[in-house]
């Protein structure tokens, strides 16, 4: 029997989530408000204007679109993917002088680190940050390392930082002999790190760190402690740090962190036989209750391979889930939660910002360039190269 995908049954997001990324904080990776003269969102010619500016720029421009971007933006992407894939795609196009990154700030930083000096990376809205990356600042992480040193464990601790972190945190990781990981290779990164030392400091997403260690590698929840940068000494004792295998930074994704055990139970009651597929940035109890867990790329491939007529509840960002539901009308694909779960900062990149960035470039004016300083780039690259060298 073929089941047609039903409209996604969701309700408005609470205001707090929509406001994320509105403020500017020069010390965080989030960037500042857009200085541009934006076209009005109601301009009926926006699509045509974007097309014309892109055509005028030709090979000089390469537009990257993260999976969580809006449809109105993704239609102009030369390539789509997760943040690491996109940064590598940009590096593989040296003839593209301008890399327009439709994603968030840390992704544009990573693209700048991995591309050549001749390539300039542009983020159409500088206020498109990532709330998770903002949860670990350079000062907080340096303080944490001091706490680990005091407890006598820094020498045996290897930092492993998720791709979703600022260039500063990646550089910290490179300075201390650690590696970057993505949600696809977190297990390999942890296995490598445990061959180098006795403990791992996992930044900044506690859920990815915990889920990988416990679900994939057989550690227990008691092997994990959470370091809270807002508490004195991280809210943990020296003894707890000495006993722990995984020291998890208290950070999370505002989007994936919203899924709950109730959402899983609710969808199972509503759709008998549904397959629950969630991203590893979700809370541990959600991941434990799911049928399948995997990165964005894994989710896309799993749905491609799923038999017609099968039912899926997906726990990841809503723009992507909507696109997947549209792309697979022979399968029932629903959003795991009942409320809207867009990444509000990703959504800041809209058609007016993209048109503004492309038209400025076509006029010879580089706007919103993201540039990582040389020293930070050097050490961040060490950590990224370590990831590429993972067995
Ligand atoms: S989905 Fe989560 S981790 Fe990704 S950019 Fe948005 S807030 Fe950051």
Is any ligand 1 atom within 6 A of the Cβ of residue 130? yes
Contact 74, 54 (CB under 8 A): no
Percent of the chain at pLDDT exceeding 70: 91
Residues 87-132 have pLDDT tens digits of: 889 999 999 999 999 999 999 999 999 999 999 999 999 999 999 9
Residues 317-350 have pLDDT tens digits of: 999 999 999 999 999 999 999 887 789 899 999 9
User: Ligand 1 mean position to 122 CA, how many Å?
Assistant: 19
Percent of the chain at pLDDT exceeding 90: 86
CA neighbours closer than 13 Å in the CB half-sphere of residue 323: 20
How high is the pLDDT of residue 35?
59
How high is the pLDDT of residue 155?
98
Contact 372, 167 (CB under 8 A): yes
11-25, 67-81, 183-197: least confident range: 11-25
How high is the pLDDT of residue 17?
35
Question: How many residues can be counted in the chain?
Answer: 391
CA 303 vs CA 107, 222, 306, 311: distances in Å: 25, 34, 5, 10
Phi, psi of 238 (to 5 degrees): -60, -35
Extended strands (E) in 67-118: 79-81, 98-102
User: Ligand 1 mean position to 354 CA, how many Å?
Assistant: 20
User: Which residues are CB-contacts of 47 (< 8 A; sequence separation ≥ 6)?
Assistant: 72, 75, 351
Using a 10 angstrom Cβ sphere, with 0-12 exposed, 13-18 middle and 19 or more buried, the burial of residue 244 is buried
pTM value?
Answer: 0.89
Over 50: is that where the pLDDT of 279 sits?
yes
How high is the pLDDT of residue 18?
34
Nearest atom (ligand 1) to Cα of 68: 1
Residues 285-329 have pLDDT tens digits of: 999 999 999 999 999 999 999 999 999 999 999 999 999 999 999
Using a 10 angstrom Cβ sphere, with 0-12 exposed, 13-18 middle and 19 or more buried, the burial of residue 334 is buried
Over 70: is that where the pLDDT of 172 sits?
yes
Extended strands (E) in the chain: 61-66, 79-81, 98-102, 120-122, 157-162, 179-181, 199-203, 224-227, 246-249, 275-278, 292-293, 311-315, 332-335, 369-370
User: Ligand 1 mean position to 355 CA, how many Å?
Assistant: 23
Over 60: is that where the pLDDT of 7 sits?
no
State whether residue 50 is helix, strand or coil: helix
CA 366, chain centre distance (Å): 25
**pLDDT band for position 20 (50/70/90)?**
very low
Residues 236, 251: Cα–Cα separation, whole Å: 16
Residues 129, 112: Cα–Cα separation, whole Å: 16
Over 80: is that where the pLDDT of 4 sits?
no
User: Ligand 1 mean position to 253 CA, how many Å?
Assistant: 5
Residues 134-157 have pLDDT tens digits of: 999 999 999 999 999 999 999 999
Residue from 22, 86, 105, 132 to probe ligand 1 pocket by mutation (most atoms less than 8 Å from CB) = 132
């Amino acid at each position: 029997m073929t089941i047609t995908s039903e409209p996604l049954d969701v309700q408005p997001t609470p205001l707090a989530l929509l406001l994320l990324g509105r403020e500017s904080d020069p010390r965080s990776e989030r960037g500042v408000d857009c200085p541009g003269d934006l076209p009005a969102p109601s301009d009926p010619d926006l699509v045509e204007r974007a097309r014309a500016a892109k055509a005028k720029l030709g090979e000089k421009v390469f537009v990257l679109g993260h999976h969580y971007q809006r449809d109105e933006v993704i239609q102009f992407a030369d390539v789509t993917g997760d943040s690491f894939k996109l940064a590598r795609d940009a590096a593989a196009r040296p003839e593209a002088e301008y890399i327009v990154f439709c994603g968030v700030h840390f992704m544009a930083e990573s693209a700048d680190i991995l591309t050549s000096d001749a390539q300039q990376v542009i983020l159409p809205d500088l206020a498109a940050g990532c709330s998770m990356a903002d949860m670990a600042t350079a000062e907080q992480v340096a303080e944490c390392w001091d706490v680990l040193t005091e407890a006598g464990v820094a020498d045996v601790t290897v930092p492993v930082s998720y791709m979703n972190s600022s260039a500063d945190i990646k550089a910290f990781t490179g300075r201390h002999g650690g590696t970057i990981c993505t949600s696809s290779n977190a297990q390999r990164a942890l296995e490598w790190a445990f061959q180098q030392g006795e403990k791992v400091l996992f930044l900044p997403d506690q859920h990815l760190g915990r889920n990988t260690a416990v679900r994939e590698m057989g550690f227990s929840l008691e092997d994990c402690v959470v370091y809270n940068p807002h508490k004195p000494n991280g809210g943990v004792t020296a003894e707890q740090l000495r006993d722990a295998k995984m020291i998890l930074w208290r950070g999370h994704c505002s989007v994936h962190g919203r899924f709950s055990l109730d959402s899983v139970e609710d969808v199972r009651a509503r759709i008998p036989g549904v397959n629950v597929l969630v991203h590893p940035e979700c809370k541990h109890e959600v991941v434990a209750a799911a049928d399948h867990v995997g990165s964005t790329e894994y989710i896309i491939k799993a749905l491609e391979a799923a038999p017609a007529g099968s039912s899926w509840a997906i726990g990841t960002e809503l723009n992507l889930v909507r696109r997947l539901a549209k792309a697979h009308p022979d399968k029932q694909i629903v959003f795991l939660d009942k409320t809207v779960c867009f990444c509000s900062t990703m959504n800041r990149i809209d058609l007016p910002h993209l048109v503004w960035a492309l038209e400025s470039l076509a006029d010879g004016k580089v706007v919103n360039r993201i540039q990582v300083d040389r020293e930070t780039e050097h050490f961040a690259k060490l950590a990224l190269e370590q990831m590429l060298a993972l067995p």
